[in-house]
Chains A and B, each alone.
Chain A
Amino acid sequence: MKKVMLLGMIAMVLITGMMFARGQEEYPSRDITNILVWAAGGGTDLANRLVMAEMAKILKVNINVVNVTGGVGGSVGMLEAYSKPADGYTLCGLSESIVTAGVQGGWDKRVNVWDYFIIGGSPDVLSVSPNAPYKNLKELVDAMKANPKGIKAGASASGSIHHLNLLAFEKGTGAQFNFIPYTGSAPAQNAAMTGEVTVVITSVQEQSELLKAGKLRPLAMLTPDPFKFGDITIPSAFADYPDLAKYLPLEQQIGFGIRRDAPEPVKAKLREAFKQAIKAEAVQKFGRDRFFTIKGIYGDEANKIFDKLESVFSWTLWELGAAKVDPAKLGIPKP
């Protein structure tokens, strides 16, 4: 009798052990939640929902996208995602702006607690009102130099990715704008159409409809390569002003993160699914239709990009007086 009980107990231990091992091996065994820090319908939301749908097919579980907005730099959603166990069942949908959460007082550590997966982003383009006299970038920069701070340029308010691009453009060309801040890219573009500002810097995706209709005239890309937009090719600003390479590119990076302390096998599984999902036709088509460069970067390469963004954003905001927390206190290195 005792033997039978003993055998039974051994069997139970073995079974439990096997189940445990299986449970660890076969991630994912239940639904995954992606806590997205920006609102439904925005660029980060759209791209994440698409890629999550493809990854769900590959991982054979559901991935639910939940928008948890609020705070500074998406801090509320990030805090919530970070409070969940590092088991790979919680992801955090994010974009480049989350690196500002720290210096704005919403996040008390660096953002290198995440491992990043970058889906892509839309590059920034400098455009002018259609009735502006500048036919190319050189004419604009010459006019800026002749009349420092005389040409009005609009972009979303101080510290946004587009504002940082504008500042970097000024540094790289040595010319200065009169910067007029707006509460978003759409109002800034609207102002360029009404003629309130002459120059506007936003992403190609945000400008695409206006560029197609000729309501804005693109002068230069703020990336190293020219950009093919329909029938026209927008030249890179780097061609005339090679010094820009010191400060640019600063690109939009939309993607998601997983806690860096999550087990390696889980991360490996996600990387594999991410790689495949990026290749899916639906994702590639989204990229083509919306002028969104699909990048599919992950691992060290992605983490390095976010380190650089964190350092540039945090210190720029601090120098502008728009940061609340000293980036040095958070241990963020100077760019």
Chain B
Amino acid sequence: MTVFQALVSFFGYLGTILSSPTTLLLLFGSTILGIIFGALPGLTATLGVALLTTLTYSLDTGPALVSLLGIYVGAVYGGSYGSIMINIPGTAAAAATALDGYPKALRGEAGVAIGLTTTASFLGTIVGMLFVVVFTPIISFLALQFTSFEFFLLAFFGILISGSISTPDLVQKGWIAGFFGLFLAVVGRDPLQFYPRFTLGLPQLEGGIEVVPVLIGAFGIPQIIQVLKDRFVTAKAQQVGRVIPSWNKIMHNIPHIIRSALIGVGIGAVPGIGEDIAAWVSYGTAKNTSKHPEIYGTGCDEGIIASETANNACIGGAMIPLLSLGIPGSPPAAMLLGALLLHGIAPGPMLHVEQPTFVFQVSAILLMASAAMYICGILLAPQVVKLLRVPPALFMPIVAVLCLIGSYALGLKIFNLYLMVPIGIIAYYMGELGYPIPPLVIGVILGTMADENLRRALMVSQGSFLPFVTRPVALILLIVILLTVITSTSTFKTFKAKWTAKRSRS
């Protein structure tokens, strides 16, 4: 297929979507539903896509795909609302956004922060889409370099970096929180040989500790306790004013946006890991490469841009292995795969032979979905911010009820509530002692992946650790991990300080 033919089919699909009022209605409806799903704690992008898969079963493939991608894009973006306004991320993918989004909202700039996440998410989705079109073959080749060794190192790196970034004082505290999450992740029957670990004989623990009650408990409960103690106020909304960030601000941040989007696409393309780790790695990279790392965590634009661009760019990234290999790049993409199969489309290496224009259809829909998300987001932001005018005494109990429902709704398991409340209380005391909460949650999310892949890797190598240094991708990841650890030690910091001092003298 020539470039010209590709462009014709891409714009052909755009035209089809734009010219059909029902499809447009479907697009906006699913996107708004996605934003609501994202914003409410406990309702995730995966759940949204799953719900719509059943609802759109009877529709044609085109409109069904429009609504599925609409809710996916909307939900990944919507998670940031909770992060910014009440410091309770709606989804795990938006946890990194809370680091700078919430301080910004506390300064009364919630509207500005939402405008910024909306723009960042929009640009992120667009870059992700471009990659789907241009780089599908190359990236799917790279994704195949990932075996159990690399998956383990990547998961481990994700936990480590979320610890390094989100800690208020000592990085070691962040790592401890991360390892606590890692420990929670190994509870249950092990995924490879079904051996029960730390289940205390409770049948409910056999399936392991679910992520959603941990996410909601660890972020929601401390926040509610804080407000009840009345030491903390919810963000103020004095200035609704201008929501759309200025052109200058965007241009100024172009390097950040491009770097974050690239990280998002790259991580999305690796099968099995998703938006959450993309946001953390991107935030970490932004902070580590910044000339002013000290402004991160105080409500800076760069931090918000880094996490939100990356988590939305991840969508496009996750489409790449899905379309080219039939392997979903993230959990919501796995649900999307099921939906596509229901509609008689079998994503895989033969897709470009059997349905050569399908990739362009997906990218056209992604473009439209991100546009719909942008329009909805900019229109919604001033209204959402008004919610903050509700006094905390009324607002927080509603949040508390939503948290409880969110934990219960996913599996309709009462046990999840018994799990969520103690974890929330532990998280509260950890917070009081200066241990950050995000690494705890990331530990639970990535812990299963780290555990399963390390054990499998050692089965494959028959107990040898050598492949960690002989496999090229593994070696790179190992070096990055070692650098992260070494540069955080006090010895290294003293050494660096002395060295810079010496150099400035000479």
Q: Does A33 sit at the interface, judged by CB under 8 A?
A: no
- State whether the Cβ of B272 lies closer than 8 Å to any Cβ in chain A: yes
Q: How far is the CB of A184 from chain B (nearest CB, A)?
A: 9
Q: Does A289 contact B (CB under 8 A)?
A: yes
Contact A183 B452 (CB under 8 A): yes
Interface residues of A in 60-105 (CB under 8 A from B): 67, 70, 72, 105
Q: Shortest distance in angstroms between B22's beta carbon and chain A's nearest beta carbon? A: 23
A183 nearest in chain B by CB position: B191
Given contacts A157-B191, A209-B349, A213-B348, are A40 and B148 in contact (CB under 8 A)? no
In the bound complex, how far is the Cα of B346 from the Cα of A159, in angstroms?
Answer: 27
> Nearest Cβ in chain A — how far from B320, in angstroms?
14
Question: Given A41-B341, A187-B272 in contact, is the A194-B194 Cβ separation under 8 Å?
Answer: no
Identify which of A23-31, A174-182, A260-268, A308-316 touches chain B: A174-182
CA distance A177 to B351 in the complex (A): 33
Query: A194 to B147, Cβ gap below 8 A?
Result: yes
Q: Is A331 an interface residue (CB 8 A)?
A: no
Whether a CB of chain B sits under 8 angstroms from the CB of A170 is no
Asked whether A181 and B193 contact (CB < 8 A) given A39-B338, A46-B341, A152-B460, the answer is yes
Interface residues of A in 162-221 (CB under 8 A from B): 178, 180-183, 186-187, 190-191, 193-197, 208-210, 212-213, 215
B350 in complex: contacting residue of A105, A209, A320, A322, CB < 8 Å: A209
A158 close to B (CB within 8 Å): yes
User: For residues 328 through 378 of chain B, which have their beta carbon under 8 Å from a beta carbon of chain A?
Assistant: 328, 335, 337-339, 341-342, 344, 346-351
Complex CA distance for A209 and B353, rounded to whole angstroms: 11
Chain A residues with a Cβ closer than 8 Å to the other chain, count = 40
The complex places the Cα of A270 from the Cα of B213 at a distance, in Å, of 42
**B327 at interface by CB-CB < 8 Å:** yes
Q: B183: CB under 8 A from chain A?
A: no
The answer to whether B50 touches A196, judged by C-beta atoms less than 8 angstroms apart, is no
Contacting residues, chain A, for B57 (C-beta < 8 A): 49
Q: B346 and A209: CB pair below 8 A?
A: yes
Contacts of B325 in A (CB 8 A): 190, 193
Q: Do B54 and A72 touch across chains, with their CB atoms under 8 A apart?
A: no
Q: Is the CB of B337 within 8 A of A209?
A: no
A41-B64 Cα distance, complex, nearest whole Å = 14
| Known contacts A40-B50, A41-B341, A67-B54: A194-B145 contact under CB 8 Å | yes
A213–B350 touching, CB < 8 Å: yes
Interface presence of B180 (CB below 8 A): no
Chain A residues within an 8 Å CB radius of B347? 209
Smallest Cβ-Cβ distance to B49: which chain A residue: A41
Given A152-B460, A157-B194: A190 touches B342 (CB 8 Å cut-off): no
B460, A180: Cβ atoms closer than 8 Å: yes
| Contact for A158 among B194, B341, B346, B413, CB less than 8 A | B194
Q: Which of A40, A46, A210 has the most CB of B within 10 A?
A: A40
B236 close to chain A: CB less than 8 A? no
Whether, in the assembled complex, B146 has its beta carbon less than 8 Å from a beta carbon of chain A, the answer is yes
Shortest beta-carbon distance from A80 to chain B in Å: 11
Cα of A210 to Cα of B146 in the assembled complex, Å = 18
CA A226 to CA B11, docked complex, whole Å: 46
The answer to whether B83 has its CB under 8 Å from any CB of chain A is no
Partner of A289, one of B148, B338, B344: B344
**Is B206's CB within 8 Å of the partner chain A?**
yes
Chain B positions 195-214 with a Cβ under 8 Å from a chain A Cβ: 195, 203, 206-207
Contact at A178–B462, with CB atoms within 8 Å? yes
Tell whether B53 is near chain A: CB-to-CB under 8 Å: yes
* 26 CB < 8 A contacts A-B: A40-B50, A40-B342, A46-B342, A49-B342, A67-B54, A70-B411, A152-B460, A157-B192, A158-B193, A178-B462, A180-B459, A181-B191, A183-B191, A186-B327, A186-B328, A187-B272, A193-B144, A194-B144, A195-B147, A196-B460, A208-B346, A209-B350, A209-B351, A210-B348, A213-B348, A289-B344
| Extra 14 A-B pairs, beta carbons < 8 Å, given A41-B342, A190-B271, A194-B145 | A40-B338, A42-B338, A46-B341, A46-B342, A67-B54, A157-B194, A181-B191, A186-B327, A190-B144, A196-B147, A196-B460, A209-B326, A210-B348, A289-B344
Top 5 A-B pairs, shortest CB-CB distance:
A41-B338, A209-B348, A213-B349, A322-B194, A196-B147
